[in-house]
Every structure is written in C-alpha cells, then in structure tokens.
Chain A
Amino acid sequence: MPGVIEAQGLSFKYTRTLVLENISFCIEEGDYVGLIGPNGGGKTTLLKLVLGLEKGAGKIKLFGVPQADFKEWQKIGYLAQKSPVSQTRFPVSVEEVVLMGLCYDSAHKEPTLANLKEVYRALRQTRTRDLAKRIFSDLSVGQQQRVLLARALVSKPRLLILDEPSAAMDAASRDMFFDLLGELNQKHGVTILLITHDTGEVGKYISKFMYIDKELVFFGDKQAFCQSKKVAEKLGSFAQHTIDHLHNNGHCPLGCQCEGVHGGVGHYAAHGAEAAHGGSTAPLKEKADRPTAEKTDAKAGAGFSAAGADAPSPAKDESHNAPALQPNADDIAPTQTADGGQK
C-alpha cells in the first residue's frame, strides 16, 4: 500500500541559503506525526514543499500519485499558523470561508444544499456553529483559527497538514482542538502531520515524531524518539530550557510512556548542553538530579497528564536513573534514524 506522503531527496534553498537538504520519509495512513525542530529548521518549508506551495529538488508522492499529477486536493486539509486576514476587513462570512474548503467541479457553480450540510457539520465539529453568519474578519484570532480548521475539515480529508495551529488559541480551545485531532486520527483514521512546539500537550496523541533541523534528524515512533542520541545532541542546543522542562515537570514532556522517562531525551539533552557549555556540567547535573525527588510527587497522581497516567513504578524509575547518567549510544534502533529516512 502506498504511503500518504512519500518524500525522496527533498532539498530547498532560498537564493544561497540552504533550508532543507536531502530529506526522505514516508508517512503511512493513520499516522499522527509531530513535526518538530528549532526555529528556522525548515519545518514550514517542508510542509510547503509537500503541498506544492514551494518548488524544490526531490520527489514527492501524495497518496501514491506524483505531486505534479495530483488532483484530489479534497483529500488534503491544510491549516496555516496565521490567519490570512487578522486586521483587514474582508467581506466574507464564516459560512463562506468554510465553503472555500470544498473543491467544486466548476468555479462559478453555486453551493448546493449538500455542500452547506458539510459546512455546518464541520462548524459543529469545531464548535463554531454559532459563528456561521458572522463576518470572518470580525472574529478573534482564536475563533478565526477554529473556523479555518473547519475549512480544512469540510472536505472530509484523509490527510491533515497543520502548521502550529494552536498558537493563538486559549487553553480551552487548544484542548478541544487537540482532542478533536486525536479523535479524527484514532476513530476516523485521518493521517495528521502537525508542526508543534507544544509537545507536552499534543504528545499523548502523536504516534510518530519527525525532527527536522535542515536535515532529517529523526523519524520514528515516540518511544524511540525519547531515546535517540541524535535528537538529544540537537536538543542540547536548547539545553537550559529543555532541561528545565524535562526535569522540573517530573515527566516526559512528549507525553510518551517510555520506560526511560527521565533518562531519554532529558539525559542526552543534558549531555548535549554540557558539550555546548564547554564541559561546565555542575549546574546541569544539579538540575538533572532534581527530578529524582520530584518524580515521587508526580507519581502520586497530582495533575499528571494523560500521557503520565501510566506512571513508571519506583523500581523502573531507579533502573532508568542509572542509564540516565550513563548514556549508551547503542540504545537507538538504527532503523529509526534519519539515514534511511524510514522506520
């Protein structure tokens, strides 16, 4: 069975600046892929290449069809990071905006009753039904983003491509948003490719991670991601923030249920940071020691995320504290690194 997105040797550069180099991967039907990486790492450019919004080198197939010949765009829903009209008054209603998500046979054809039914189904899904007759540009940015999600969903897509969609949403809308995505993926088998920095929130739903930093650093399931040395080396560059995030919270921020909750990325990040800080390890080690004590509180159950529901047993914790201090490069499955591009 062909993959939903098959990319081979993707490269892209703006004038002389290399943005992406030789990226290959295959996203299969039903995958929920979290696309992460540093700012300027090429995540949005990768999505644009997949959608044909930018032209680069390499080959892309969508649903087994070469991108240039692909016609069934209704199979793909896309939601960008920013609303297209945040300030300007654009005279279209929410209903009309969602209608834009449907592909018509003819450009001048008026929408049918069936089209409108689909529009209202999508609006109900994103809890924006009561906004249907409002002018889109009069809505708040968070409301606009939910309406744009409805536009992405109206054609019942088999693939959703989302570029940091929750950035402007409040906490309640964000929870609703990620729950909806999780439901679409798990109940309806919709494949999702999502750029996010909010790995803690969305981690409980994601099945695979793709880490991009100009090249494909990692692509594979989240368990392997947490133990990947290559990822950890990259995360080292964000050391302080990452370590705070990892260890002060007392659980894996990716929401994964990896056995090495505190020994995976956090551990390697610490080492990456040590390298980045020229071997000055004392503060980092101090921070790395902190979670051991805090974990017990976290396991007691207070405010743990869904991902943390299966909190590791004390015995497991101990066993994973040890490797946390002694990294082992062999603990990464070679098939899940970027080299082959496939898991």
Chain B
Amino acid sequence: MIGEFLSYGFVQRGLLAGSLVAVVCALLGVFLVLKRLSLIGDGLSHVCLTGVALGLLTQTSPVYMSIPVVLAASLGVLKIMEKVKIYGDAAIGIVSAAGLALGILITALAGGFNADLFGFLFGSILTVDKTEVFLCAALLCALLLFLLFFYRDLVAASFDEAFACTRGISVKRLNAALIVFTSVAVVLAFKVVGIFLISALIILPPVSALLLSRTFKQVLWLSCGLALASVWSGVYLSFVFNIPSGATIILINLLFLAGAFVCSRLGRGYTKKGKKYAD
C-alpha cells in the first residue's frame, strides 16, 4: 500500500513540498510564538486571498501573484506596529481584514467563487508542481542560513527585545527578516494546507514542542519532527481514506498537541513528587 502510494509523481512532489514547508513553518513558528506574533500567519494567509483572487482574475499563477501582495502586507504590519504604536495582534488584525475584504471584492468582480479558489482555500497538496517544490527548497535553505548566522541574536531578541537592543543587536532588522520569511512561507504553504489552515502549521508544532522541551535547540528539533510527522501521516491518511489532506494534517497536529500536554502534565507531576520526596 505504502509502495503504491509513493510511486505516484504527484504524491512525491506533494510530500516533498509539504515536508519543506512544514519545516520552514515549524522553525519560524518557534520564534513567532515566543515573540507573541504567531497570529501573523493567520493574518497574512487572509491576505493571500487577495493574491489568489488577483491571480485568478489576471490568469496568472496565484502563488507568484500572492508573494508580492503578502510581502507588502507584512511590511505594512511592521510599519503599523512601529508608527501607530499599537500591539502586533491589532496590526495583524487590520492588515488581515483589509486583505480578506479586498480578496472577496476581487473574487466577486471576477465572477464569484469557483473550484480553483476552493482548492486554495482548503489546500490541494497533490497539485504542487516542480517549480513550487524548488521554491520551497530555496526558502528552507535561506532560512537555515539565516538561523545559522543569527541564531543567538534571534534567541536574545525573542527573549527580551529591549535588552537585545542594548547589546547592539538590530532587533528591527531581525523582526523584518522573520516576517519576510513568514510571508513567503505562508504563500508556499497555502497549497499544502489551504489558506484557512496555514496558521495552524505555524503555531501547533512549536507549541507542542515548547511543552516538551527544556532547551531552545530541543524545541527547534522537536517542532520540525512533529511537523514532518504530521505532514507524512496526514498525506498518507488522506490518500487511504480519500479525505482532505490539509485538514487531516492539522487534526494530527492537534492530536500531537494533546499528547504533549498530557506528557508535560505527567512530567511536571513527577518532578513535583520527586522534589517532595527529596525534601
């Protein structure tokens, strides 16, 4: 069964793209969750709707059309946070609402919803083409290089932005880089899990990993592991039971989160007991 499943080219491409995107989202998600910016994935995914609608309207690739639109929106979030002095979640909400409203308006002007748009909303991992796989690989490479060079700065800035500034770390540039990476990841991820579920791929694996890990590096590794496991098992189950892959991936991530929560509670109880006996 598994052999047959892996023999299809579209399945191979889907799994590869899904794995690459999942790792990117899992890595970025750790920093975004700790910086309380995790909902940026949700906000930017709504902006994707504008890009997709523009792509469908102009008969160009919705993915390529979405990249500049979402990049512009992400920079808008940064500017609003900086200039208007409001919290990140409100800035994300503003851009998200604008993106969604524009997307709906353009879709209506283009003649309403159709099957193509439905595929983008709920994901269609098996329709990923070679160029998109290549883009996902390029994004992961760029992100790994970025983490390699700025890992300590990113951890310090995620922990305490103000103090990081007093160490000469350019927190604004790091934040901008993180958000730009997130924008591209969001666009490439919407075929894997769909526009509505992208933020779950950014939030769920890191949160599960945070519950189980004691060091920052453990969180990064575990987050990637859980994201990969969810994509592989999700795509396989969707193939076997003929169910939507995006929703299956997210539900598996929710199961992982529940498991992580139970494990962390048991572990904490054990530690408390140990302490009690030690006392």
Q: Do A and B bind each other?
A: yes
Residues of A in contact with B (beta carbons under 8 Å apart): 14-15, 48, 51-53, 71, 73-74, 76, 78, 80, 84-85, 88-93, 96-97, 100-101, 103-104, 107-109, 135, 151
Can you list 15 pairs linking A and B with CB atoms under 8 Å apart?
A14-B85, A15-B85, A52-B165, A53-B165, A74-B167, A80-B162, A84-B163, A90-B34, A91-B213, A91-B215, A100-B164, A100-B167, A107-B150, A109-B152, A135-B214
A contacts with B: majority SS = loop
Assess whether B34 is in contact with A103, with CB atoms less than 8 Å apart. no
Which 8 A-B pairs have CB atoms at the shortest separation, nearest pair first?
A: A84-B160, A73-B168, A107-B153, A100-B156, A78-B166, A107-B152, A91-B219, A91-B216
Which chain B residues border A108 with CB–CB below 8 Å?
A: 148-152
Assess whether A84 is in contact with B149, with CB atoms less than 8 Å apart. no
Question: Does B155 sit at the interface, judged by CB under 8 A?
Answer: yes
Assess whether B167 is in contact with A91, with CB atoms less than 8 Å apart. no
Q: Which of A52, A53, A91 contacts B214 (CB 8 A)?
A: A91
Nearest-neighbor residue (CB-CB) of B264 within chain A: A89
Question: Does B12 sit at the interface, judged by CB under 8 A?
Answer: no
Assess whether A51 is in contact with B166, with CB atoms less than 8 Å apart. yes
Output the least CB separation between B83 and chain A (Å): 10
Question: Does B61 sit at the interface, judged by CB under 8 A?
Answer: no
Which chain B residues border A104 with CB–CB below 8 Å?
A: 152
Assess whether B165 is in contact with A51, with CB atoms less than 8 Å apart. yes
Q: Which of A15, A91, A96, A103 contacts B168 (CB 8 A)?
A: A103
Question: Does B193 sit at the interface, judged by CB under 8 A?
Answer: no
Which chain B residues border A101 with CB–CB below 8 Å?
A: 163, 167
Which chain B residues border A93 with CB–CB below 8 Å?
A: 214-215
B contacts with A: majority SS = helix
Assess whether B159 is in contact with A97, with CB atoms less than 8 Å apart. yes
Which chain A residues border B166 with CB–CB below 8 Å?
A: 51-53, 73, 76, 78
Given A89-B210, A100-B156, A107-B153, residue A73 in contact with residue B167 (CB < 8 A): yes
Give Cα A15 to B150, complex, Å: 34
Which chain A residues border B163 with CB–CB below 8 Å?
A: 78, 80, 84, 100-101, 151
Which chain A residues border B218 with CB–CB below 8 Å?
A: 91
Give Cα A286 to B162, complex, Å: 47
Give Cα A53 to B166, complex, Å: 8
Assess whether A100 is in contact with B160, with CB atoms less than 8 Å apart. yes
Give Cα A91 to B163, complex, Å: 18
Nearest-neighbor residue (CB-CB) of B218 within chain A: A91
Return the CB mask of B137-161 against A: 1 if under 8 Å, else 0. Answer: 0000000000011111101101111
Q: Which of B155, B161, B168, B215 contacts A71 (CB 8 A)?
A: B168
Residues of B in contact with A (beta carbons under 8 Å apart): 34, 85, 148-153, 155-156, 158-168, 210-211, 213-216, 218-219
Which chain B residues border A97 with CB–CB below 8 Å?
A: 159
Which chain A residues border B160 with CB–CB below 8 Å?
A: 80, 84-85, 100
8 additional contacts (CB under 8 A) given A80-B163, A91-B213, A96-B155: A52-B165, A76-B166, A85-B160, A91-B216, A92-B216, A93-B214, A96-B216, A107-B153
Give Cα A51 to B210, complex, Å: 32
Which chain A residues border B151 with CB–CB below 8 Å?
A: 107-108
Assess whether B214 is in contact with A84, with CB atoms less than 8 Å apart. no
Output the least CB separation between B213 and chain A (Å): 5
Give Cα A202 to B252, complex, Å: 56
Give Cα A85 to B36, complex, Å: 11
Nearest-neighbor residue (CB-CB) of B164 within chain A: A100
Output the least CB separation between B233 and chain A (Å): 26
Give Cα A280 to B164, complex, Å: 51
Give Cα A51 to B153, complex, Å: 18
Give Cα A183 to B164, complex, Å: 27
Give Cα A93 to B216, complex, Å: 9
Give Cα A339 to B45, complex, Å: 55
Give Cα A73 to B171, complex, Å: 15
Give Cα A14 to B164, complex, Å: 23
Which chain A residues border B165 with CB–CB below 8 Å?
A: 51-53
Assess whether B168 is in contact with A92, with CB atoms less than 8 Å apart. no
Output the least CB separation between B215 and chain A (Å): 6
Output the least CB separation between B42 and chain A (Å): 19
Which chain A residues border B156 with CB–CB below 8 Å?
A: 100
Give Cα A78 to B162, complex, Å: 9
Output the least CB separation between B88 and chain A (Å): 15
Give Cα A108 to B147, complex, Å: 9
Which chain A residues border B155 with CB–CB below 8 Å?
A: 92, 96, 100
Nearest-neighbor residue (CB-CB) of A110 within chain B: B152
Nearest-neighbor residue (CB-CB) of B215 within chain A: A91
Give Cα A135 to B158, complex, Å: 16
Nearest-neighbor residue (CB-CB) of A99 within chain B: B152
Give Cα A107 to B219, complex, Å: 20
Give Cα A184 to B157, complex, Å: 28
Give Cα A15 to B85, complex, Å: 9
Output the least CB separation between A89 and chain B (Å): 6
Assess whether A107 is in contact with B159, with CB atoms less than 8 Å apart. no
Give Cα A91 to B215, complex, Å: 5
Assess whether A107 is in contact with B216, with CB atoms less than 8 Å apart. no
Give Cα A91 to B213, complex, Å: 7
Q: Which of B153, B167, B211, B215 contacts A92 (CB 8 A)?
A: B215
Assess whether B159 is in contact with A85, with CB atoms less than 8 Å apart. yes
